[in-house]
Structure 1
Amino acid sequence: MASARSKKPCVKCPKNAGIATCGGCQAWFCTKHFIEHRQGLGEAMERIGQQHDDLHKNLDANNIGYSLLSQINAWEQTSLNRIQEVAEKARIDLAKYIEEAKTQLTQSLNKIKNELTSSRASDDFTEIELKQWNTQLEKLGRMLEKPSSIDIVEGDQSQPLIRIIQRKGIFTNSMIKFLIVLILTVQLREMFTII
């Protein structure tokens, strides 16, 4: 007596009985459609293999990080230009200050020279005047040696001038360390402020 077993139909053609089950999708197929299903899986495997090979070629071509390197180069050039602008402004301001200080010192020296010449010519001076002139000359000498109103101010120290930013994503820790980017904050205008 033959046993009546209920056969599952093929998922592609319900009129035929399924004779093989796919271990992945668990679907039943007839012989013809099982072969087609396996060919489809083989084609999908080829596409995935090609995608892998393409990614590997891109990695080997060193394309990873090229955009970031371009950004770093642009940042570097912009930062250098900004630093040069600020330094040039500081030089101009310092030259202006030095010229003003020289003018004031020259005027003070001329005033003392006129007083000395006049007092010497009229023989009209005492220890008091000599001490005053000597004190004035010493004060002017100190001003010439060390101008007191020039200072370099570095700006707000609570925010660093250079920040370290890490690239986030699917990268490993060693790749993150490799992709650290230094970004100069725009605080350079305060860096060389002359008071």
Structure 2
Amino acid sequence: MANIRAKQHCVKCDNDAGTTVCGGCQQWLCNNHFAQHREDLDEELNRIDQKCYSFDEKISEHSVMDAFHSRINEWKSASIKKIEDVTEQTRTDLDNYFNKSNTRFKELLDKIKNELALSRGSNNYTEMELERWNDRLNKLQQLLEKLSAITIVGDDPVQPRIRIILPEGMSKYNYGLHNFSLKSQR
């Protein structure tokens, strides 16, 4: 028995003469509409090709990378500025500390020198005064030597800033001289 196939009609014009099925969309089309269908597919292929070309250009452009580089450069500049600010503040703090320390040392030394001059002028001193003055000078000398033991610390992973670490017994405000007395102990 012969296999009789029913005629298929074009989905666009309902024509049943010379219809062909599209292998992609599985629609039956007459010769005219099949040619138009192929042109439509060619146009879509060209649009996709153009998208690929445009995308390739975007990949080749470094606009995204440039934006990140710009942000990194801004971060670098801001970080350098912060480091410069902290460095300048640390330098100022250290200068102030040494200036105040030197002023206080000079005040204490001047008091000792005045006592020496007064005692020498009145010829009023004994071994006890000499020992006390010598002891005070030795203590001042020790405190002066402690000033050179100041440590400047940077690159602390927990606290990323530059700090001044003063020797034990010295603070930013008392210079190690808070318990130092020049009063005569008679």
TM-score normalised according to structure 1 size: 0.67
Residue pairs, 1:42-191, within 5 angstroms: 42-147=42-147, 152=152, 157-158=157-158, 161=160, 191=161
Runs of 4+ in 1 over 6 A off after TM superposition: 153-156
Matched residue type, 1:59? I
Whether contact under 8 Å (2:15, 2:30) holds in the other structure is no
Query: Which amino acid in structure 2 is aligned with residue 19 of structure 1?
Result: T
User: Structure 1: which 5+ runs fail to align?
Assistant: 162-190
Q: How many positions carry a matched residue from both structures?
A: 165
Aligned residues: CA RMSD? 3.1
* Higher mean C-alpha deviation, range 68-77 or range 149-158: 149-158
Instruction: Classify the secondary structure of the residue corresponding to 2:63.
Output: coil
Structure 1 residue 42, shift from structure 2 partner: 1.5
Amino acid of the structure 1 residue aligned with 2:39: Q
Task: Tell me how far 1:193 sits from its aligned partner.
Answer: 5.0
1:17–1:29: 8 Å Cα contact kept in structure 2?
Answer: no
In structure 2, what is the equivalent of residue 192 of structure 1?
162
**How many Å separate the matches in 2 of 1:133 and 1:83?**
45
Bigger radius of gyration among the two: 2
Q: What is the identity percentage for the equivalent residue pairs of Structure 1 and Structure 2?
A: 41
Q: Calculate the TM-score normalised by the size of structure 2.
A: 0.70
The equivalent of 1:24 in structure 2 is 24
The CA distance in 2 between the partners of 1:14 and 1:148, in whole Å, is: 103
Gaps of 5+ in 2: 165-171, 173-186
Which residue does the alignment assign to 2:178? Answer: none
For residue 7 of structure 2, what is the aligned residue in structure 1?
Answer: 7
Task: Give the residue type in structure 1 aligned to 2:125.
Answer: F
1:132 deviation in Å? 2.5
Contact 1:86 1:192 in 2 (8 A): yes
Given that 1:11 and 1:27 are in contact with CA atoms closer than 8 Å, whether structure 2 keeps it comes out as yes
CA–CA distance in structure 2, aligned partners of residues 61 and 142 of structure 1: 67
Instruction: Report the secondary structure of 1:65's partner residue.
Output: helix
- How does 1:33-48 map onto structure 2 within 5 Å? 33-48=33-48
Q: Distance in 1 between matches of 2:62 and 2:49?
A: 20
**Cα deviations across residues 9-63 of structure 1 (Å, max 9, x unaligned)?**
3332334468333333233322222222222221222222222222223333433
Distance 2:79 2:47 in 1: 46
